[in-house]
């Protein structure tokens, strides 16, 4: 069994944004944009492509 780890700062920021978005009822696409931005996924995909 693995030990639980402390969430990264990026994951915490994304979590806070998702929570706010859920309360504010933003669209799913906006939520996805926030997650991509906070995880750096867009930059990784841009560098790979």
Q: What is the per-residue pLDDT across 3-25, written as a single tens digit (0 to 9) for each?
A: 667 877 888 888 888 777 666 65
Residue 36's pLDDT band (boundaries 50, 70, 90)?
confident
Q: Is the pTM of this model over 0.75?
A: no
Q: What is the pLDDT of residue 25?
A: 58
- The stretch 28-39 carries a mean pLDDT of 76
Helices (H), the chain: 9-24, 28-39, 41-48
Cβ distance 21 to 31 under 8 Å?
A: yes
Q: What pLDDT shows up at residue 2? A: 61
- The pLDDT, as a whole number, for residue 48 is 79
């Amino acid at each position: 069994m693995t030990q639980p780890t402390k969430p990264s700062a990026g994951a915490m920021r994304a979590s806070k944004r998702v929570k706010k978005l859920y309360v504010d009822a933003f669209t799913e696409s906006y939520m996805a944009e926030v997650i991509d931005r906070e995880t750096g996924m867009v930059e990784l995909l841009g560098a790979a492509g």
